[in-house]
Amino acid sequence: MCSRGACTLAPLSEQSGISGTAQPEDVFFQRGVAFTGIQSRLLDSQGAAVDASLAPARTPDGSVTLSALDYKMQEDARRLTWSGQQPGAWELRAKQPRDFDRQANGDLLLTATLRIDALPSQGHVVAYAASAGGRSELQIGSWLQGLPQQQWMTVAIPLKCFRRGADLKRLEVPLGIRSAPGLQLSIHQVQLGAAAEHLLDCPAS
């Protein structure tokens, strides 16, 4: 069971790259690539989307760029850099709406294997999930500031945190990150799981 500060990390499978007991439909981003049925996208300050399936990629206004980097294998991670003059976003969008209500009721976590390379000076970073009927946003800038920098780790947000605003029975974006200029994240994997090293507490109702 997770405590406020840390949880036990589930072992990684060397064969599939999917950690713990996650099913393929619960994996969104693996070894730096969007998983089956998921699209990796960059969005500029006006919401215009660019396909980020291949690296390098950038928004037309240069607010967000994506590049490949090595973690455990060659180019098995992606570095996201918010380097423009305007805010931007990176998101994982399902090609068809998915039902994650059962997983949320089971207290599953949205986990990510990542490294924080730089943070915006104003700390304005939002994690979001979206459905056709709404959107749920969580301010995570302060949380990220309290995490280790320049080292790979697993972090998690309880899926149920996104209930306020998003329809988890018809989820289209399981994870998006919007930030002001200055954020740089390296991401290897995003999936549902039961454990992580650093857990975000859901905001109070």
* List of domains in the chain: 24-199 (2.60.120.430)
* pLDDT band for position 205 (cuts 50, 70, 90): low
pLDDT in tens, 142-158: 999 999 999 999 999 99
With b for 16 or more beta-carbon neighbours within 10 A and e for fewer, the 175-200 pattern comes to: bbbbbbbbbbbbbbbbbbbbbbbbbb
Res 7 pLDDT > 70? no
Among 156, 161, 186, which Cα is nearest to 6's? 156
51 burial class (0-12, 13-18, 19+ CB within 10 angstroms)? Answer: exposed
Average pLDDT of the segment spanning 162-187:
96
Render pLDDT for 33-85 as a digit per residue (tens, 0 to 9): 999 999 999 999 999 999 999 999 999 999 999 999 999 999 999 999 999 88
Please give the model's pTM, rounded to 2 decimal places: 0.87
Query: What band does 172 get if pLDDT is binned at 50, 70 and 90?
Result: very high
Q: Give yes or no for residue 5 having a pLDDT over 70.
A: no
pLDDT of residue 16: 37
> Would you state the pLDDT for residue 18?
41
Q: Over the chain, what is the mean pLDDT? A: 89
Is residue 162's pLDDT more than 90? Answer: yes
